[in-house]
């Protein structure tokens, strides 16, 4: 069909084009792995009193990277004690302007060590280096920088109030954005004058342990930040400890409810950032090629291990076919593989358990009658992988349209009118995020008003910034992280 016929040329006929992206692995040697990582308590790396250690596995190779301490009740008690001690003997009495400078120092050191942290994050958690390099680590540093500036300005954030720190903040974070979630938790807590005991996720402790070294380099007073690694039991000890004044949790709705019950009747301030099942709504007047990018970024970013992932695509019926065609085509260009390769779009699934959960839900989708699409894709032999997946013919009642999969799996549904889109989007107990794609400004605002979600991305998706409050409605949790609003959970407003 080409309008141009082949020209005769004096040069020999060119060989068929080879078009290969180079394996462009980020050098691993920027990270000096230790054999074992102890707990960070009172400014020191200490051995766990349990005497127990567990292996941290690289999800992309299944190799054991290092061992990490399993903190028990006594270890948690020691960490809370160290945090209390640091709070009462120094940190709470420190001038806010000096507190700020420690946070600025941390921000700077994170920037300086960003390459190392990015490689560590991808190695330990399986996310593509492109994301850890361009999203996780820069945002983590930005978070510290942003909240550093608040430390000595709190009285301007809450006029006519005297903001006071709460005391010891216990914080439990998930494995999907290990260092970034640490920053979301620690930066505002310290800026407000609290001290911290943080439990990194079981499968992704590495960047937290490097962060311990960052605290050392920043000469942060001992005990202001304490890190207890471990599994769910460690988290439970932390929740039950009677020395905490505040608990911040990011994780599943199921565990969030358990924590809420556990803390019932106790004077512990609580914030929860839980699951989601976000609707990403595309109207027929949307900029389609960019909507496709947004859909892909919405669900395949970080292998779909994102609580605010746009896992339910709602497409206006009048544009369904061309959009699906574009989407499938784009899916086929996604590069799945070595997280340390700069050309990789989709990395490894974080753990074997998560991979099994994804497989189980995908199987349920097929059983219930949804039509599956997976692009042809070569996967590495070792490691935990899942091909980016798209389901069509999905009914609102299917499990894949209701439950959080937390993997690279998109369910596609259709709608006819804006009212129907809202009805379907809100038909979930969750309320974390939503996406709207339309060129019509008034329709965006109409949708924004009606979507029950803490974050609405219009003509974009999965954007984060330290200045921008993030958090859920309904069963997606309560409290906000980021922005001026992110200070409130760490303050007593007298």
Partner 1 sequence: MTRVSVRKTYKLYIGGAFPRSESGRTFEAESQNVARASRKDARDAVRAARAAFPVWAGMTAYNRGQILYRLAEMMEARSSDLERACSGRGEVEAAIDRVVWYAGWADKLAQVLGSSNPVAGPYFDFTVPEPMGVVAVLAPGEPPLGGLISRVAPAIVGGNAAVVVASETHPVAAIEFAEALATSDLPAGTVNILTGFRDELAPWLAGHMDVNAIDLTGADGGSTELEQLAAENVKRVVRSSADAQSPWEISAFLELKTVWHPIGL
Partner 2 sequence: MPDYTRRVAKAPALVGGFVLPSGPRLPRVGSVDAVALEERAATLAKRSIKRESKVQALRLAVRMMDLTTLEGQDTPGKVAALCSKAIRPDPVDRSVPSVAAVCVYPSLAGVAKERLAGSGVRVASVATAFPSGQSPVEIKIAETRAVVELGADEVDMVIDRGAFLSGRYAKVYDEIVRVKEVCGDAHLKVILETGELGTYDNVRRASLIAIAAGADFIKTSTGKINPAATLPVTLCMMEVVRDVYAETGRMVGIKPAGGIRVSKQAVQYLVVLYETLGREWMTPDLFRFGASSLLNDVLMQLRKEKTGLYQSGDYFTID
- The residues carrying an active-site annotation are 273, 307
CB of 241 to partner 2, least distance (A): 44
Site for partner 1 (CB under 8 A): which residue of 45, 263, 288, 372? 263
User: Binding to partner 1 (CB under 8 A): which residues in 388-447?
Assistant: 429, 444
| 470 and 485 Cβ atoms separated by less than 8 Å | no
Site for partner 1 (CB under 8 A): which residue of 12, 16, 93, 265? 265
Q: Which helix (H) or strand (E) holds 234?
A: helix 232-240
- What is the number of alpha carbons within 13 Å of residue 149 lying toward its C-beta? 10
CB of 425 to partner 2, least distance (A): 21
Q: Which does 342 bind (CB under 5 to 8 A by kind): partner 2, partner 1, none?
A: partner 2
User: Binding to partner 1 (CB under 8 A): which residues in 446-475?
Assistant: 448, 453-460, 463, 465, 467-471, 473-475
Site for partner 1 (CB under 8 A): which residue of 36, 257, 382, 416? 257
Q: What is residue 29's three-state secondary structure?
A: helix
Q: Which helix (H) or strand (E) holds 172?
A: strand 168-172
Q: Which does 288 bind (CB under 5 to 8 A by kind): partner 1, partner 2, none?
A: partner 2
Q: What is residue 365's three-state secondary structure?
A: helix
Q: Which does 20 bind (CB under 5 to 8 A by kind): partner 2, partner 1, none?
A: partner 2
How wide is the angle at C-alpha 293 spanned by C-alphas 290 and 298, nearest 5°? 125
| 321 and 414 Cβ atoms separated by less than 8 Å | no
CB of 486 to partner 2, least distance (A): 25
- Residues in the site for partner 2, rule: CB under 8 A? 1-11, 14-15, 17-22, 24, 130, 285-291, 293-294, 322, 325, 333, 342-343, 439, 459-460
393 or 468, CB closer to partner 1? 468
Q: Give the range of 25-33, 106-114, 154-162, 223-231 binding partner 1 by CB under 8 A.
A: 154-162
The DSSP string of 409-467 is EEEEEEESSHHHHHHHHT-SS--SEEEEE-S-HHHHHHHHHH---SEEEES--S---TT
Site for partner 1 (CB under 8 A): which residue of 33, 45, 260, 334? 260
158 or 373, CB closer to partner 1? 158
Q: What is residue 108's three-state secondary structure?
A: helix
b/e sequence 267-298, b meaning 16+ C-beta within 10 Å: ebbbbbbbbbbbbbbbbbebebeebbebbbbb
Sheet with strand 246-250: strands edge to edge = 44-46, 39-41, 225-227, 195-199, 168-172, 246-250, 269-273, 477-478
For binding to partner 1 (CB under 8 A), which residues are involved?
142, 158, 160-161, 253, 256-258, 260-261, 263-265, 272, 274, 429, 444, 448, 453-460, 463, 465, 467-471, 473-478, 480, 483-485, 493
């Amino acid at each position: 069909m080409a309008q141009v016929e082949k020209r005769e040329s004096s040069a020999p006929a060119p060989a068929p084009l080879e078009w290969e992206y180079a394996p462009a692995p980020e050098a691993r040697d920027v990270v000096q792995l230790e054999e074992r990582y102890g707990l960070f308590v009172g400014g020191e790396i200490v051995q766990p009193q349990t005497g127990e250690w567990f292996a941290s596995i690289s999800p992309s190779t299944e190799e054991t990277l290092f061992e990490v301490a399993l903190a028990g009740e006594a270890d948690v008690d020691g960490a809370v004690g160290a945090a209390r001690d640091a709070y009462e003997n120094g940190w709470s009495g420190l001038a806010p302007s000096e507190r700020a400078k420690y946070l600025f120092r941390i921000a700077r050191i994170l920037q300086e060590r960003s390459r190392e942290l990015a490689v560590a994050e991808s190695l330990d958690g399986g996310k593509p280096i492109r994301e850890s390099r361009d999203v996780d680590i820069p945002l983590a540093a930005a978070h510290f920088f942003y909240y550093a500036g608040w430390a000595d300005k709190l009285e301007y954030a809450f006029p006519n109030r005297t903001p006071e720190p709460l005391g010891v903040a216990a914080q439990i974070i998930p494995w999907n954005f290990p260092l970034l979630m640490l920053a979301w938790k620690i930066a505002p807590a310290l800026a407000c004058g609290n001290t911290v005991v943080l439990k990194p996720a079981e499968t992704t402790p590495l960047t937290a342990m490097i962060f311990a070294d960052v605290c050392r380099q920043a000469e942060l007073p001992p005990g202001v930040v304490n890190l207890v690694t471990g599994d769910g039991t460690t988290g439970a000890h932390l929740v039950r400890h009677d020395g905490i004044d505040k608990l911040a949790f990011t994780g599943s709705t199921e565990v969030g409810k358990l924590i809420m019950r556990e803390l019932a009747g106790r004077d512990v301030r609580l914030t929860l950032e839980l699951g989601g099942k976000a609707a990403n709504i595309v109207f027929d007047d949307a900029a389609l090629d960019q909507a496709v990018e947004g859909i892909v970024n919405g669900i395949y970013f970080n292998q779909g291990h994102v609580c605010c992932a746009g896992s339910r695509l709602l497409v206006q019926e009048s544009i369904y076919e061309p959009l699906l065609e574009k989407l499938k085509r784009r899916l086929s260009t996604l590069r799945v593989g070595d997280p340390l390769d700069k050309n990789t779009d989709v990395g490894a699934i974080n753990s074997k358990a998560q991979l099994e959960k994804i497989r189980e839900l995908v199987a349920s989708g097929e059983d219930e009658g949804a039509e599956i699409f997976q692009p042809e894709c070569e996967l590495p032999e070792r490691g935990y992988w899942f091909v980016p997946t798209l389901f069509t013919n999905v009914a609102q009642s299917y499990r894949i349209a209701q439950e959080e999969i937390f993997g690279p799996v998109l369910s596609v549904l259709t709608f006819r009118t804006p009212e129907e889109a809202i009805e379907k989007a809100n038909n979930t107990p969750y309320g974390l995020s939503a996406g709207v794609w339309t060129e019509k400004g008034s329709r965006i605002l109409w949708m924004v008003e009606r979507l029950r979600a803490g974050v609405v991305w219009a003509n974009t998706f999965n954007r984060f910034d330290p200045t921008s409050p993030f958090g859920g409605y309904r069963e997606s949790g309560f409290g906000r992280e980021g922005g001026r609003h992110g200070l409130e959970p760490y303050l007593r407003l007298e």
